[in-house]
Structure formats: structure tokens, C-alpha cells
Amino acid sequence: MITKEAIQFLEDLVANNNTDWMHANKKRYDNYKKDYHNYIAAILTALKPLDKSLEPLEVKNCTFRINRDIRFSKDKSPYKTNIGVWMSQNKNRKNAPGYYIHFEKGNSFIAGGCWCPEPNELRQIRKEIAFFNEDLEAIVNDKKFKSEFGAMTRDENNTLKKAPKDFEPNHPAIEFLKLKSFTASEKIDDKLFSDPNFSKIIAEKLIVLKPLNDFLSRALETEE
């Protein structure tokens, strides 16, 4: 679970997103960081027995820096005001499939899959889908998957308007082949993050995404 102190720190940071305030509240930030790491450790403890591929992960593999990359952003606020956790099935691969947890007041969610793979990885995933689309169909049509996540994420930024190069427009899996990211997500009530059983509850939700992650990992590990 996320501590009240960590949540309060983020709320105060929203109202004071500047370096002067952060420097003046360094002790609070240090305590927040400890809470953040303990939060990740608890989630890993709950999730690792359900997905053995996560065994090599340590807390340091799952964190995000609080500093924002503002080089190309109109918003020059220097710090992130959310808590993110990324648990990858292969910590040595940049875009390996995995699980994501996001706490942000009014915009909390969990997700998983493979987000924005590199061009060569995207080609590998599409090839796997083209040859084994029945496997992917079975995963996304599973009752637990549909109940928890509904469907894979589709929006105008994530989906091609036409069939990708080298794939037939009438392929039975064309709607999957048009995707540029292969993820699924679910909105989560902020209150759940303060539940003492949060780690267990969230692990049971995330593990529903394991078959999708396994399918994507298989695609990325297949020789071209």
C-alpha cells in the first residue's frame, strides 16, 4: 500500500512543483523515496510467485526518477507528481513486456504488455500475430481478461489507419496487426492503493496479463 505520508507529499508537490520547494523538503522526499521502494518491494513479493520470469527483478529495476524530462515539453514542471512501477519480464530488454502500476490522484490505473516497441521488435510481434493469431484471440477473449481489462488498448495514436507494410488488408488479425503498441489497462480507484491488502489484490489483477506478456515475449525471442 501507499502510505498517507507519501500521498500527502505528492499532493504538496502538485501545489509546489519547483526546485526551491523540493530542496526545502529534502527530508520529506527522502522519506517518500523509502516509502516508494517499500511499496515496490511488497508488490514484487506478491507477484513473483505468480510469474517466475520476474524473479531476477530488484526494487531498483522497477523505479522511475522523480525528475521529468522537460527538453521537448511545453510543461516545464521539473518533477513527476505520480507514482509509477514497471516490472519487466526481461530486465535486459528495453521494451520487454511487463506490468505497470500508476498512482495519480484521479487517474490511477494498472496496465501491461509492450508499449512502443522498436521497429524491428514491432515487426517481430506482427509476424507472430500473423502466424499465430488464434493464440492471441484466445488470450484476449478469455473470461478473466475481458472481465478485468475488457480489450487491448486502441486509440488514434496507437493504431494505423491502413494495413502495415507486408501484411494483407484482409488478414483475419488485421485489427491487431494495425496496433503500434500491444497493451491493456484498467482504471483503479485511488482508495485501493491505501488498502493493507493492496499488493495481493493488485497482483491478482496483473497476473491476468501474463498470457499476453508471454505471447509478446515469445514473439521477441523468435529468430527472424
What is the C-alpha R_g of the chain? 19
Count the domains in the chain.
1
Hey, what's the cell of 183?
Answer: 497493451
Give the strand order in the sheet containing 83-88.
83-88, 98-103, 109-114, 182-187
**Length, in residues, of the chain:** 224
Residue-wise pLDDT for 134-173, tens only, equals: 999 999 999 999 999 999 999 888 999 999 998 999 999 9
Residues of the domain holding 162: 4-221
Residue-wise pLDDT for 44-101, tens only, equals: 999 999 999 999 999 999 999 999 988 888 888 999 999 999 999 887 777 789 999 9
3-state secondary structure of 160: coil
pLDDT at 176 (0 to 100): 96
Query: Is the C-alpha dihedral spanning 140, 146, 148, 152 positive or negative?
Result: positive
**CA-to-CA dists, residue 195 to 18, 37, 200, angstroms:** 31, 17, 10
Q: How far apart are CA 216 and CA 128, in angstroms?
A: 8
Average pLDDT over residues 122-141: 96
Residue-wise pLDDT for 177-212, tens only, equals: 999 999 999 999 999 999 999 999 999 999 999 999
Q: How far apart are CA 88 and CA 148, in angstroms?
A: 20
What is the reported pTM? 0.94
Q: How far apart are CA 214 and CA 79, in angstroms?
A: 34
On whether the CB atoms of residues 47 and 87 are closer than 8 A, the answer is yes
Nearest to 185 by CA among 100, 118, 117, 79: 100
Q: How far apart are CA 146 and CA 123, in angstroms?
A: 26
The CATH number covering residue 57 comes to 3.30.930
Lowest mean pLDDT among 16-25, 26-35, 90-99, 122-131: 90-99
- Cα-based torsion angle of the residue sequence 140, 145, 150, 152 in order, rounded to the nearest 10 degrees: -40
